[in-house]
Chain A
């Protein structure tokens, strides 16, 4: 007799674990099944080189919802976020270092442009206002656009009311954010190339778009909504790497009674004989588990096209799933270092390395990086977002040594030679990234102990991220809010009864928010009126 659970959650990433915690909290007998040997999914830390702990994929935290931290008492379970202060942009022969000191940042920007220094404050003010306006979206379940139930629309109506109340200038800015490219949007304020290029970078992360592509301005805002301890826009590092966030959520889930199994990949979701209701899962080992509800925190492609047997989904729904855009565009190079790299142009000391170090010297540089990707090549000179967590968290490297995390864009999943050719190009990609950084920090090669290169192909194979998209699908406007993941199916339900979704493919998207997992659980509990399935 197979064991039966009220809910089985496929995937032990931060969202799956969050769903499990909330369901367990409601008294449900809950089981999480993780394919890999460790929890976390893309929120994972791994000691790939002995003594060096890498945040292998995701590497910074900011969007993790404060209500989840409170409700699951995550600090008690090990949540420990350290400050990531400042952004150093390397420019040939110079630099631009913005940091958590207003006067210093103003003086630094004024060195480049006096006008930009003034504009920087105005821009920050406007984005804070915009984020404050849009942020409630992250905490509400999107309405079904076809629904006439007014309760569904209450949250949105509040938003529409707030929008009408915004000053005209802010309304215009909002429309701009929704329609413009990041570069055009920033052009309204700034003239300093490295400043614009670095700021525009947050408009392209996780998308297959360039800084001049319309729609990227919104993604700027998405990243502006980060919040730590009530402070908007603050980004942090997690002690022990991002995997420790998943560990904290897992610990909370276990404390609430959830069971969690690793090395337990799900082969298929079992359906009732009528084929329209989920009844459990079959593991890759052949083991069968019965469940009242199955929740998939995998991305939509995996959730519907791989975990279900063909032919059970409505055709139009399945077609929409197939159309959902992944187009992974980024890679990761993790370096174990003997010593810190030294950037040729620097303000002295090593403090400039304690925050983000950005290879984004010019807007044109960013756009050229995209040009390569459009035609199926990784960028010959990519945008690189570097952090060296060991500078604020010595626990991740041996004393005096460092780990360096390099997020790289563009690394298109779809190479001209096909995605499988990443096997042949991985090494060249890693070398390109190291060469690119070395142009600004020539001693980098001398201090590398070992490099770990993660391509979008690896992300798909190892972590199940379709096409290597770090957000379970692009954060483009047509794939957000009530269109995420599929228009009409933004509320975590699926056409299969008792089969639910909770991953980053759902509203509000990716970025270690865990909002998806929480909202899915709450929506599920509401649907079942809190009663166990």
Chain B
């Protein structure tokens, strides 16, 4: 049975329309308000609270904790000094992505390193299997620690008001400890919205108290809880992929076409081929030596005028669905299918129909013209689209 997260006593009464979805066995609000659009606006214009507690969270402790990280991720973990956070994929031995997530180096303790590892899918067994011979303790802290994303241009002001601490010095993808309403928490400058924002890691038992403190401090800044629908729009604008939507984990793939290397999902810049050996490195070297994979992740700017024309041809006013579609759709060029569109949605800020797509390398270059299947009144048509660089939306405040 689906259960509530540690914030459920607060989020449940707020979910006025009872719009829940399931996320790793937990209830996650789809939207709290009359429409998720106002929540989207909170993320982009003010501040929003997003309950991300269902993320799988592991704590690695011991003299070899960092070695285990380095053995698995595609980035050079020796550079993961205390206080830093990596976003990274990790691969199986065939160089195919198992999952992606953030890896946080906490402060050392007891003569060893302490790592917080977050993931979309369960990784306990994978971590344990790869820890063979290493002096490291692996704990699943998914239910021990609640997590909340505080995102939006005013997020820093809310966090500073709530903690009474200064966060101007906490750079992008850095973390530190803090106190919130007397609770020892950990704060990372991370998020899934592509905006200024933080993720707060809070003992689950104190989650409600922490929520109340954030809401009280955020009130002058018009803070709102935001659900998954709003988050999906922002992550699309930020060009961030979603596992099992934009790619399939190597663990769940049934056929070769469902396997993705980091180079195929826009994570090539996160692959370090010079670092010490790690799971999948040899396969990734071979892939690069062979000229790289045949398909790439791209952003699409879909011609709204074409969509308008399709509606006009039916005698209808144009319609842009307000939520992100996760239905895979054929992508064509020159009358042939050359890929698939995986996430499609309207960007209220950019006033554009945008999408993430997996496309053959010949059509993956910025500026390439392709066509996307678009259905109006149950008639399948094609609309034109242009390949563009990701992310679609990248405000300076994200890193400032």
Contact = CB atoms under 8 A, between A and B. Distances in A.
A122 B1 contact: no
A110 B144 CA distance: 14
A101 B128 CA distance: 26
B252 interface: yes
A107 B25 contact: yes
Interface residues of B, number: 18
A164 interface: no
A103 interface: yes
Contact of B1 (A104, A117, A119): A104
Nearest to B2: A103
B101 interface: no
A114 B140 contact: yes
Contacts of B3: 103, 107
A294 B288 CA distance: 66
Contacts of A114: 122, 124-125, 140
Contact of A118 (B26, B122, B254): B122
B251 A115 contact: no
A368 to B, nearest CB: 29
Contact of B251 (A101, A103, A104, A121): A121
A118 B24 CA distance: 12
B25 A122 contact: no
Nearest to A128: B254
A306 interface: no
A276 interface: no
A171 interface: no
Contact of B122 (A104, A117, A128): A117
Interface in B147-174: none
Interface string B15-34: 00000001011100000000
A364 B124 CA distance: 27
A115 B252 contact: no
Contacts of B256: 167
Contacts of B325: none
B286 to A, nearest CB: 16
A350 interface: no
B256 to A, nearest CB: 8
A125 B140 contact: no
B1 A115 contact: no
A513 to B, nearest CB: 25
A48 interface: no
A106 interface: yes
B323 interface: no
Interface string A83-109: 000000000000000000111101100
A186 to B, nearest CB: 14
A67 interface: no
B123 interface: yes
Given A104-B1, A104-B25, A115-B124, A129 B254 contact: yes
A115 B25 contact: no
A466 B22 CA distance: 51
Given A101-B1, A104-B1, A107-B25, A122 B251 contact: yes
Contact of A106 (B25, B123, B125, B252): B25
A95 to B, nearest CB: 16
A104 B2 CA distance: 7
Nearest to A115: B125
Nearest to A103: B25
Interface in A223-260: none
Interface in B1-18: 1-3
B124 A125 contact: no
Interface string A200-213: 00000000000000
A106 B142 CA distance: 13
A101 B24 CA distance: 11
Contacts of A121: 122, 251-252
Contacts of B26: 103
Interface string A493-528: 000000000000000000000000000000000000
Interface string A350-381: 00000000000000000000000000000000
Interface in B65-93: none
A118 B125 contact: yes
Contact of A103 (B1, B128, B252, B254): B1
Interface string B124-146: 11101000000000001000000
Nearest to A129: B254
Contacts of B254: 125, 128-129
Interface string A129-148: 10000000000000000000
Contacts of B2: 101, 103-104
A146 B124 CA distance: 51
A313 B140 CA distance: 66
Nearest to A118: B125
A278 B157 CA distance: 94
B375 to A, nearest CB: 25
A115 B128 contact: yes
A106 B143 CA distance: 13
Contacts of A104: 1-2, 25
B396 to A, nearest CB: 40
B123 A118 contact: yes
A103 B24 contact: yes
Nearest to B259: A167
A64 B352 CA distance: 52
A96 to B, nearest CB: 16
A434 B275 CA distance: 63
A129 B256 CA distance: 13
Contacts of A103: 1-3, 22, 24-26
Contacts of B126: 118
A89 B188 CA distance: 43
Contact of B124 (A118, A128, A129): A118
B25 to A, nearest CB: 3
A117 to B, nearest CB: 6
A129 B255 CA distance: 10
B206 to A, nearest CB: 22
Contacts of B251: 121-122, 125
B392 to A, nearest CB: 33
Contacts of B124: 114-115, 117-118
A125 B252 contact: yes
A411 B160 CA distance: 72
B125 A119 contact: yes
Contacts of B24: 103
Interface in B247-294: 251-252, 254, 256
Contacts of A125: 251-252, 254
Contacts of B25: 102-104, 106-107
B317 to A, nearest CB: 40
Contacts of A106: 25, 122
Contacts of A101: 1-2
A129 B252 CA distance: 11
Contacts of B1: 101, 103-104
A121 to B, nearest CB: 7
A37 to B, nearest CB: 46
A315 B278 CA distance: 63
A128 B252 CA distance: 11
A104 B252 CA distance: 19
Nearest to B253: A125
Instruction: Point out which of A101, A107, A118, A121 has the most chain B C-beta atoms below 10 A from its C-beta.
Output: A118
Nearest to B58: A114
Nearest to B23: A103
Contacts of B252: 121, 125
Nearest to A122: B251
Nearest to B25: A103
Interface in B93-143: 122-126, 128, 140
Given A114-B122, A119-B125, 6 more contacts: A103-B2, A103-B22, A104-B2, A118-B123, A118-B125, A121-B122
6 contacts: A103-B3, A115-B125, A115-B128, A117-B122, A129-B254, A167-B256
Interface of B: 1-3, 22, 24-26, 122-126, 128, 140, 251-252, 254, 256
Nearest first, the 4 closest Cβ-Cβ pairs linking A and B are: A103-B25, A118-B125, A115-B125, A114-B124
